[in-house]
Amino acid sequence: MPRWKALPDELDPQVREFATQLRRLVDRSGLSVAALSDRTGYSKTSWERYLGGRLLAPKGAVVALAEVTGANPVHLTTMWELAERAWSRSEMRHDMTMEAIRVSQARAALGEFGAPPATSTTTAGSKAGGNALPRRAGSAVATPGIAGPAGVSPTIPPQPTAPDANRREGRDGREGTGSRGPAAPGGTGAPGGRRRLTMFLAGVVGVAVVVAAVFFLTGNDGGDGKKNRSGATSSAPSTSAGTDLPAGVKCAGAGCTGKDAEAMGCSGDLVTTAKTATVGATTLEVRYSSTCGAAWGRITGAAQGDSVRVTAGTTTKTGDITAAGDTIAYTPMVAVRDAAQAKACATLASGRTGCTS
DSSP string, 248-278: T--EEGGGGTTS-TTTTT-SGGG-EEEEEEE
- What's the CA gap between 96 and 104, in Å, rounded? 12
Q: Is the pTM of this model over 0.85?
A: no
Beta carbons of 41 and 298 less than 8 angstroms apart: no
- What's the CA gap between 264 and 78, in Å, rounded? 33
- What's the CA gap between 191 and 298, in Å, rounded? 80
pLDDT on residue 179: 42
Beta carbons of 274 and 288 less than 8 angstroms apart: yes
pLDDT on residue 100: 73
Beta carbons of 127 and 185 less than 8 angstroms apart: yes
- What's the CA gap between 60 and 345, in Å, rounded? 29
- Amino acid identity, position 16: R
- What's the CA gap between 17 and 30, in Å, rounded? 20
Residue in 83, 94, 95 with CA at minimum distance from that of residue 53: 83
pLDDT on residue 73: 87
pLDDT on residue 219: 57
- What's the CA gap between 311 and 272, in Å, rounded? 17
Specify the pairing of strand 251-252 against strand 238-239: parallel
Q: What is the DSSP letter of 179?
A: H
Beta carbons of 329 and 353 less than 8 angstroms apart: no
Q: What is the DSSP letter of 160?
A: P
Beta carbons of 121 and 184 less than 8 angstroms apart: yes
pLDDT per residue over 2-33, tens digit each?
Answer: 678 888 888 888 889 988 989 999 998 889 98
Q: At what angle do helices 33-40 and 44-51 cross, to 10 degrees?
A: 110
Burial of 140 (0-12, 13-18, 19+ CB in 10 A): exposed
pLDDT on residue 95: 66
Three-class secondary structure of residue 347 per DSSP: strand
Beta carbons of 169 and 202 less than 8 angstroms apart: no
Residue 122 burial (CB count, 10 A): 14
- What's the CA gap between 74 and 293, in Å, rounded? 34
Determine phi and psi for 259, rounding to 5 degrees. -105, 160
pLDDT on residue 158: 56
pLDDT on residue 286: 93
Three-class secondary structure of residue 331 per DSSP: coil
Q: Helices in the chain by DSSP H: which ranges?
A: 13-29, 33-40, 44-51, 59-69, 73-111, 121-128, 162-179, 191-219
pLDDT on residue 101: 78
pLDDT on residue 224: 46
Residue in 347, 346, 315, 345 with CA at minimum distance from that of residue 333: 315
Task: Tell me which residues of the chain have a pLDDT lower than 50.
Answer: 1, 120-154, 165, 169-189, 221-242
pLDDT on residue 218: 66
Three-class secondary structure of residue 345 per DSSP: strand
- What's the CA gap between 43 and 61, in Å, rounded? 10
